[in-house]
Amino acid sequence: MQKPKKDLLGLKDLSEEQITNILETAKTMKYIMSQKNKKTGHLVGKSIVTLFYENSTRTRISFEAAAKYMSAFTSSVSVGTSSVSKGENLIDTAKTIDAMGTDAIIIRHSMSGAPHLIAANVKACVINAGDGMNEHPTQALLDIFTIKEKKGTIKGLKVAIVGDIAHSRVARSNIWGLTKLGAEVSVGGPATLIPPDISKMGVKAYNSVQEAILDADVVMGLRIQTERQKSGLFPSVSEYARFFGIDEKRLTLAKPDVLLLHPGPVNRGIELSTSVVDGEKSVINEQVTNGVAIRMAVLYLYTRESDD
């Protein structure tokens, strides 16, 4: 087995074998999660710190739950109440956390490349929990885990990613991961929200959601990332919902046993109708559960490396 690098910064850097190893480890972690007593000794004596410069519900809580289930010491830096608010810069903040004997720093930041910058300056392993528009590797791993659990394989599946591709780190990480595992990926959305060179990543691009999801095995809706858009890239939210939102009628264009994914948080009635969010094709809540299993696997595999 190829050893993981010190840090998990993106799926672009991982081999198919490394991705598969994380997915296989997560199966064991999901079994542990299903037990009445979820406590294991995998991370006894390890110190894990979450450092989030952007808001989060799922990623932060699931990393913290994962670390606690495996008996790690956990700390959470709230940027608003830390010395960041006194002007301390990113590298000094990370070095300060590192100097406390931290084994893993989990970082989310609005700047693409922030985790890479930290990784080059600390001994701790750095795990990217979302950097700007670049990557969100553990989100894609949990998405791929969910698809594989339901479909048995990734190879040969048609996966359509629909919405704000341009600003989506989730889309980028999924494209890297899914194509490495042999899926056929298409993206769909308004031309202003699809990067012109996206086909270089090995995907087909459509400006029609109907074309993108035709015969798909998996449809992944994405949130409109208004916080990252510099100017209006579509006329109005209601027009976006009308032309690019996924509802029950549009979902019938995909295969009858299609899976509907969304990384959350969902803006109901915009990218997905409420009926599909809560419908029988939706695996959105299972994605959240699998997020804990994947983060348990990642924390175990990456902090274990530093022991070797």
Residues of the shown chain interacting with ligand CP in the complex, contacts defined by CB under 6 A: 56-59, 130, 139, 263-265
Q: How far is the C-alpha of 237 from the C-alpha of 152, rounded, in Å?
A: 36
Q: Which is nearer to ligand CP, 59 or 134 (CB)?
A: 59
Strand, helix or coil at 48?
strand
Given 5, 38, 58, 228, the catalytic residue? 58
Minimal distance in Å, beta carbon 139 to ligand CP? 5
Q: How far is the CB of 238 from ligand CP (least distance, A)?
A: 24
- Residue 127 DSSP label: E
Is 60 known to be catalytic?
A: no
Measured from the CB atom, the residue of 130 and 163 that comes closer to ligand CP is: 130
Indicate if 172 belongs to the active site: no
Kind of pairing between the strands at 47-52 and 184-188: unpaired
Nearest-approach distance from CB 211 to ligand CP, in angstroms: 26
Q: Which residue has the tokens 């989990």?
A: 106
Of 46 and 169, which CB lies nearer to ligand CP in the complex structure? 169
Catalytic residue flag (residue 108): yes
Q: How far is the CB of 1 from ligand CP (least distance, A)?
A: 28
Q: What minimum distance in Å lies between the beta carbon of 114 and ligand CP?
A: 15
Both tokens of residue 219?
């449809």
Sequence-ordered strand ranges (E) for the chain: 47-52, 73-78, 104-109, 125-131, 158-162, 184-188, 204-206, 218-221, 259-261
Q: Is 86 annotated in the active site?
A: yes
Q: Which is nearer to ligand CP, 273 or 290 (CB)?
A: 290
**Residue 177 contacts residue 140 (beta carbons within 8 Å):** yes
59 is catalytic: yes
CA distance 31 to 53: 32
Write down the catalytic residue from 50, 59, 93, 146.
59
* In the complex, minimum distance from the CB of residue 99 to ligand CP, in angstroms, rounded to a whole number: 27
Q: Which is nearer to ligand CP, 149 or 211 (CB)?
A: 149
- Residues 61 and 72: their CA atoms lie apart, in Å, by 14
Tokens of 205: 């691009």
Report the alpha-carbon distance of residue 259 to residue 281 in Å, rounded: 5
CA 104/CA 69 separation, integer angstroms:
16
Catalytic residue among 30, 46, 108, 295: 108
* Residue nearer to ligand CP on the CB measure, 235 or 265: 265
Q: Which of 3, 36, 81, 86 is catalytic?
A: 86
Residue among 17, 50, 54, 20 at smallest CA distance from 299: 50
Give me the active site residues, please.
Answer: 58-59, 86, 108, 136
